[in-house]
Structure 1
Amino acid sequence: MSHKSLFSRALSAAPDRLHFAAHSHHLWPDASFEAQQQTWLDANRHADHKWDLVFGQVVPQAQAHVAAELNLPSPDSVVFSSNTHDFLLRLFSGVAHKPVRILSTDGEFHSFRRQADRWEEVGAAVVTRVPLAPFDTFGDRFLAEAARGGHDWIVISQVFFRTGGLFDRIADLAALARPEGPWVLIDGYHGFMATPTDLSAVADRVFYVAGGYKYAMAGEGACFLHAPPGFCPRPVVTGWFAEFGDLSGPPGGVQYRSDGGRFWGATFDCSALYRFNAVREMLDQQELDTAGVAGHARDLARRFQAAVQGGDAGVLAEADILNPVEGDGPRARFLALRHPQAQVWCAALRGAGVVADVRDDVMRFGFGLYQDPQDVDRLIAACADL
C-alpha cells in the first residue's frame, strides 16, 4: 500500500528527487504544514495568552503521545526542548561533583561526542569509551564495564547512528541505576518511532532522550526527555519554566517541579510540538503505528538488500552491510553499507538526484512511509549505473 498521498507537498517540492535519507531529514507530511499554519493563527489570536493554550493543551497532548509510544507510566515524566543537547547540559550540571565520571561508547552522536570531548579538555569529565567493534560482543563488554562501577553517568544509544546496531540490554543497564549514581541516559533518537519501544519496566530508572527530526516526522525542535522520578532532582542549568507547578526544594532556595518538568528550560518555539501532535493524529487516522511503519520500511530495505547482495545494484555488491535485515525483530530504519568508496558513491548518487548520506566510509540508506517498491527499483537502477 502506498502512503505517498500523505506527503504530497514534500514530494511535489522536488518531484525528480529520490529521497532515501528518511533516517536523516525525514520528509514532512502534509499534516505538519497545516499544523505550522495553526501555530501562527493561535499565536496571533491569543497573543499574550498563547502560553495558556500551549501549556494547557499542546504540551499535554505531546506528552501523552510520547508516553503512549514508549509505554511510560505517566506523561508527567516527559519534558520538551528544542534540541537534545539542552538535556545533556542540564543532566551534566546536576552531578554534584567534578570531574563527572562518564561511561559511554565510541559511537555516540556528535551532540554528546563533541561536548564530552570538550568537558574532558577542561577537566570537567573523565570519559571511558567502550569500542562498538566487534559488535557481536559489545553488549557483554559494555555491561561488564558498567558493572565494575565508579561511574556517575552512563550514556548509550538505543540504535547507533553510524552502523545501525541496536543495543538490546537496556533492562540490564537499568538494574545498575541509582538516584545517587550512576544515572543511565539512553539516546533514543534512532529508536523513537523507528522501532517499537516499551520502557514500562525501566521507566523508573533510566532517562530517555529523542526528538521529532527523524522518524516522528515533525522536523526540528520537538525534542524530549523522559526523566525517572528521584534522579537529578535539582539540575544546576535550569530555566524559568521549571518553577511552575508542584514545587519542592529547600526553604528560601530555588524551587523545582517534582515531575519531569524540573528539566524545563525557558521560552521556546512551540511550532514543533504542533507539528508533532498533528503527525501523531495523522497516523492514528490512518491506523498506522510504529510496528506497521517499521514493517513497511523493513520490506523496502529487504528489497534493496536483496538487490545489493544479488549484484543488481552494481558496485554496491562490494560493500559490507553492517546491519542486514534478518527476520522481523527490532532494527534500525536504515541499511548501513561500509566501503572505502562510500563517499564517492554517495556524491555520484546525489548528482543523479538520489539522496542518501555517508559517515566516513559508511553509506546509509533510510526507508519510510513516503517510499514504495517502485522507488526502491529506481534506487537499484541508479546504483547499478555507478
Structure 2
Amino acid sequence: MSYKHLFSRALSAAPDRLHFAAHSHHLWPDASHDGHMAAWTDAAHLADHKWGVVMGTLWSEAQGHIATELALPDPSTISFSSNTHDFLVRIMSAIDRAPVRVLSTDGEFHSFRRQMARWVESGKIIWKQVPAAALLAEAQQGGYDLIFASHVLFNSGRIVDFAPLAALAEPKGPWVVIDGYHGFMAIPTHLGDVSDRIFYMSGGYKYAMAGEGVCFLHAPPGFALRPQITGWYAEFDDLALPPDSIGYAPDGRRFLGSTFDPSGLYRFCAVRNMLDIEGLTTEVISDYVTRLQQQFLSKLNVPQMQIVNPLGDKPHARFLALKGPRASQIHATLAQHQVVTDVRGDVLRFGFGIYQDEKDVDQLHEILKLID
C-alpha cells in the first residue's frame, strides 16, 4: 500500500529526492496546499472580517481536532501561537517568584536549553538537568517550580512517562510542562486523565503535516492564570474593561499574544480533514511506519553505528536514531545522493512517514551499500 498520491505536489517538486526526515520537516500533503489557498481566499474576500472566521469557526475546528487527538475533555483549554517557545516564555512569566527553580531532562531541544542557559546566566532561574530515567525520582524530592520534559526525546527517541509527573502538579507549584512535538500525531496520546494537571504543547511542523506557524498549548484550568508576557488577544472577551485594567480570558486564550498569521490553522484543519476522509488515524499511520522501520532495520548494516532506539512492543518514535563516530560523514554522503536525513552530533536520524513506501526503503538500502 502507498499513500504517495496524498503528497503529489511535494514529491513531484523534487522527484529524485528520498526524504527520510519526516521527524524534522515533514513533507506537506496536497491538502495543506488547499488549506493555504483557503487562507488567501478568505483574506481576499473578507479582508478585516476574516478574523471573525479565524477566531470563530476555524479556531473552534482546530481546537476540536486537537482535543479529539489527545482525548481532552474541553477544547477551550487549547490556544495557538506561531511556535512553542512563545508558550514556554509565557508560562515562565506567570511564575511570581525568583529565582524560578526548574527541573528538566538532559535531552531537551536546543531552543529550551538555550533559553534556560540564558536565564541561568541572568539569575532568573536555577536549573537542574537529569537523565530521563532519573527525572521522576528527582521531581519527587520537591523544591521545584517547573518540571519540563519531552514526551519523546528529540535526540534519542526515548519515551517519557509523564503520568507520574502529572501526579505531582499543583496550581501553586510545581507546574509540569510536556513538550509533545515528537509525540503529537506520532504515537497515540491520551491526556484525559491528566488534563487538569499538565501543560502540553506541540505543533504542526512535524507529524501533524501542517508546516510551521501552527503550534498549540493545552493549559490546565487554574494554572498560570495571569502570564506577565501577554497581548491584547488574551483579553479578547473583555475589551470593555477600563483602560487601567488587565483582564484575561478564562480559558486557554489567556496565553495569547497579538495579531498572528492564521494560515497554519487553515493548513492544519485541511490536513486533519483529509486524514479523517482517508481513515488515517495516528494508530493506522504508526502501524504503517513501523512496517517501514522494520524493513529498514532488517537489512541495516552500517559499521561503527549502533541503533539507539530499537523497535519493541511499546509505542515508538517515528524516527530511528543511529549513534556513532560516522554520523556526520554518513549524513553528508547521503545528501550527495539526494537522501535527506538529520544529524545531531554523533546521532544520525532516519524519519519515516506515509509519503514513503517499501521501494523507497529498498532504494535507501542500496545507497547505504555505497558508503564505505
Compute the displacement of 1:331 (Å): 1.2
One-letter amino acid of the structure 1 residue matched with residue 187 of structure 2? T
Aligned residue type for 1:153: L
Q: Residue 368 of structure 1 aligns with which residue?
A: 353
Check the 8 A contact 2:78/2:253 in 1, yes or no. Answer: yes
Aligned to 2:311: 325
Counterpart mapping for 1:236-251 below 5 A: 236-245=228-237
Which secondary structure state, in structure 2, belongs to the residue aligned with residue 318 of structure 1? Answer: coil
SS in 1 for 2:224: coil
Tell me, in whole angstroms, the C-alpha distance in 2 between the residues paired with 1:301 and 1:245. Answer: 48
Give the Cα separation in 2 of the matches to 1:59 and 1:339.
44
Does residue 385 (structure 1) correspond to residue 366 (structure 2)? The answer is: no
Contact 1:246 1:258 in 2 (8 A): no
1:289 deviation in Å? 0.1
Aligned residues: 371
- One-letter identity of the residue aligned with 1:155: F
1:317 shift after superposition: 4.3
Post-superposition Cα deviations, 1:246-265, rounded to whole Å, max 9, x if no partner, equal 79x99963110111111011
Q: Which amino acid aligns with 1:324?
A: P
Please tell me the residue identity of whatever aligns with 1:204: D
8 Å contact kept, 2:304–2:326: no
| 1:1-386 superposed matches below 5 A | 1-132=1-132, 138=133, 141-168=134-161, 170-245=162-237, 253-308=245-300, 311=301, 316-327=302-313, 329-386=314-371
Once the two structures are superposed, residues 323-352 of structure 1 have per-residue CA deviations (whole angstroms, 9 ceiling, x without a partner) of: 01113x311000000010100000000001
Structure 1, unaligned stretches of length 5 or more?
133-137
CA distance in 2, matches of 1:53, 1:2: 35
- For the 8 Å contact 1:105–1:130, the answer to whether it is kept is yes
| Residues 72-127 of structure 1: CA deviation (Å, up to 9, x unaligned) | 01100000000001001100100001111000011101121110000000000000
**CA distance in structure 2 between the aligned counterparts of 1:31 and 1:246, rounded to whole angstroms:** 36
After superposition, give the CA deviation of every residue in 1:113-150 in whole Å (9 maximum; x if it has no partner). Answer: 11000000000000010024xxxxx1xx2111001100
CA apart distance, 1:239: 1.0
Take 2:339 and 2:215, find their aligned partners in 1: how far apart are those partners?
Answer: 28
Return the letter of the residue paired with 1:293. I
Counterpart Cα distance in 2 of 1:251 and 1:208:
33
Instruction: Report the Cα distance in structure 2 between the residues aligned to 1:176 and 1:39, rounded to whole angstroms.
Output: 42
Distance 1:342 1:37, change over 3 A: same
Q: Is the 8 A contact 2:304 2:325 kept in 1?
A: no
Once residues 204 and 297 of structure 1 are traced to their aligned partners in structure 2, the CA distance between those partners, rounded to angstroms, is 32
- For 1:263 and 1:63, locate their aligned partners in 2 and report how far apart those are by CA, in whole Å: 15
- Any idea what SS the aligned residue of 1:210 has? strand
Deviations 1:198-250 (Å, cap 9, x if unpaired)? Answer: 00000000000000000000000010000000000000000110111279x99
Q: Tell me the distance in 2 between the aligned counterparts of 1:48 and 1:355.
A: 41
Looking at structure 2, the residues matched to 216 and 251 of structure 1 have their Cα atoms a distance apart, in angstroms, of 40
Give the distance between the partners of 1:280 and 1:68, measured in 2 at CA. 11
TM (normalized to structure 2)? 0.97
Secondary structure (helix, strand or coil) at the match of 2:177 reads strand
Structure 2 residue ranges without an equivalent (≥5)? none
Distance 1:260 1:246 in 2: 15
Give a deviation string over 1:260-313, Cα, whole Å, max 9, x none.
1110111000000000000000000001100000111111011111111xx3xx
TM-score, normalised on structure 1? 0.94
Structure 2 counterpart of 1:368, one-letter code: G
Residue identity matched to 2:69: E
RMSD value, Cα: 1.5
SS in structure 2 opposite 1:7?
Answer: helix
Cα distance change of structure 1 residues 250 and 336 upon mapping to structure 2, 3 Å threshold: farther
Return the offset for 1:318: 3.2
Question: Identical aligned pairs, as a percentage?
Answer: 57
Q: Which residue of 2 aligns with 1:135?
A: none
Q: Which amino acid letter does the alignment assign opposite residue 23 of structure 2?
A: H
- Cα distance, 1:182–1:293 mapped onto 2, change above 3 Å: same
SS in 1 for 2:299: helix
Residue identity in the other structure for 2:297 = Q
C-alpha deviation, 1:384, in angstroms = 1.0
Question: How far apart, in 2, do the equivalents of 1:225 and 1:325 lie?
Answer: 30
Distance 1:131 1:147 in 2: 15
Give distance in 1, aligned partners of 2:194 and 2:185: 18
Assess if the C-alpha contact under 8 Å between 1:67 and 1:73 holds in 2.
Answer: yes
Whether the aligned pair in 1 keeps the contact of 2:238 and 2:247 (CA below 8 Å) is no
